[in-house]
Amino acid sequence: MKKKVLIPTKLESVARQILEAHGGYTVVHDDKLPLTDLIKQQADVYALIVRSEKVTSAVIDALPQLKVIVRAGTGYDTIDIKHARKKGIDVMNTPGANSNAVAEEVIALMLADARQLVQADISTRTGKWEKKKFMGREITGKTIGIVGLGNIGQLVAKRLSGFEVRLLGYDPMISQDRADAMRVELMDLPQLFEQADYITLHIPENDETRGMINENLLSRMKRGATLINCARPGVLDETALRKIKPLNKLRFLNDVYPADAEGPKSVADIADIMAPHLGASTVEANTNAARRAAEELIELDDKGITSFIVNRDVPEGLDEAYGRLAYSITKLCRHLVGPTAKLKTLETSFYGSLDPFGDWLMIPIVTALGDKIERPADCKMARQFLKDMGINVINRDTDPTKGFENSMTIDLIGTLDSNSLRRVSIRGTVVEGVLMLSRINEFDKLYFEPRGPTVFFIYEDRPGVLGQIGVTLAAADINIEDVRNPHHMKVNQSLVIMRINKPVPDAVMADISRRIKAFASFYYDFG
């Protein structure tokens, strides 16, 4: 019996064509009737392919045979993925299908604003001829700042290259080699905001990035500069922009809102151009998303390919603790290499039963590489992200005779400057559900649980240092809950790891580092 697929949205017909050509599906494509009416008529639906339709728990409950929901697009916040999981329903998306459409929209907004095309059109339609009033500007020769050099940010850089502009970029993840290849000058955010004539945002919205474009950065913008947001609404502090915009005569072009729906928009008073979230609204992007939605459904059913499922926390057969372990190890590696270091290489080793899950474990690994990284939806996205950032990935063959059953080793190599290369290697495992770090570089047999507030110090091995650290922490009313203090005899260095009961102020960390003459030190809360 053929499986019924319902497409209750305006989607290019290629999805229906691919599914029907396969022979295993019956497709109902209706973008006229409301979804609530359609599900009453098509209660035996096996799969839903949607765009922006809200798939609530009520919709899911009304379809007892539903097994798959495919979002023809990247975001899936309109789908109740937790309720779907409870019902045994897989939710998938089609990441990257609309990247070029968003990149081209950015340039369209820039040109429309620079040449005042929107206002000129309105004026000319009334019969006026106001050439002098609509004197414009040229993009060529300007300085463009791109905040976030992921897939879309890199496409923006590529599309702008023909305008002979100077390209500035901010992205803590991208390698220097990759940036050089794109002819993008990497710099920190304050510098970028001070130098750019146009700034376009391409960062995810999460706890780390929400409100990131704040009053301090906006006040640094050139007089008359333009800010473009086709990313997410929450990354921009609207109140700050409302304050700074008239002072610096800034321009603001916007295409993103808290809700994709009719009604008043909070940025209406400060946006010079507003569009109704048109980033993905091209025939080509719609076609790409439609094709991929159909292909992913077929691959799931015919081949069991689950890489685009977004509501399965872990693959079947893998303890979720190993995902947390991969994340924690990578976070620690990133801090030891240096949060501002440019990453060059990521090397991994997965031992024993972890070996088949190496691809999936790349998802938490990539997520942990930076605070502003949005969790990849699947391993393909994770690997593509690393490729886009210019980070070389090596998954090493493992030697079963070493006895590292169900362990993983993660190495990061990064550059602090043109003459400095730093490598950090950490191995860990899970013992009875508890995460354990077993090695950090040459410091072996640690067996330390990465949990809660933790301090790390590396120093020249000598008596009394551990006591100095303890006394200084005690003076700050900080208690030690666990400690490891291995030695590396070849280089006469020691590592101390202490789990403590509360955060350590920067001044206390600096004081301890000075007292013990630490080679390296940092504080991190594993949560």
| Per-chain mean pLDDT for the chain | 90
Other beta carbons less than 10 A from residue 292's beta carbon: 24
Structure tokens at 514: 């000075």
H helix or E strand, kind and range, residue 458: strand 453-460
pLDDT band at 167 (very low <50, low <70, confident <90, very high): very high
Res. 316 pLDDT band, cuts 50 70 90: low
pLDDT tens-place string over residues 368-410 = 888 767 777 667 778 888 888 889 999 988 877 776 778 999 9
Residue 279 pLDDT more than 70?
yes
Structural domains of the chain sorted by starting position, each given as residue range(s) with its CATH number in brackets: 3-96+284-303 (3.40.50.720), 99-274 (3.40.50.720), 314-446 (3.30.1330.90), 451-527 (3.30.70.260)
Cα within 13 Å of Cα(467), Cβ side:
3
Sign of the dihedral through C-alpha 172, 174, 175, 179: negative
Average pLDDT (68-86) is 87
Calculate the CA 65 to chain-centre distance. 34
Q: Is the pLDDT of residue 158 over 90?
A: yes
User: 75 or 326: whose pLDDT is higher?
Assistant: 326
Cβ atoms within 10 Å, residue 227: 27
With beta carbons less than 8 A apart as the criterion, state whether 365 and 394 touch: no
Tokens of 421: 């290369």
Cα(293)–Cα(300) distance, rounded to whole angstroms? 11
C-alpha triplet 168, 173, 177: angle, nearest 5°: 65
Q: Model-level pTM?
A: 0.70
Across the strands, what pairs with 448? Answer: 437
Asked if 139 and 163 touch (Cβ cutoff 8 Å), the reply is: yes
Look up residue 122 and give its two tokens: 């309105």
What tokens appear for 351 in the block?
A: 């031992």
Identify whether the C-beta of residue 450 lies closer than 8 Å to the C-beta of residue 437: yes
The residue type found at 233 is: P
Task: Please report which confidence band the pLDDT of residue 209 belongs to, taking 50, 70 and 90 as the band edges.
Answer: confident
Task: Tell me the longest C-alpha to C-alpha distance in the chain.
Answer: 88
In this predicted model, what pLDDT tens digit does every residue of 415-449 receive, in sequence order?
877 667 889 999 999 888 889 999 998 898 888 88
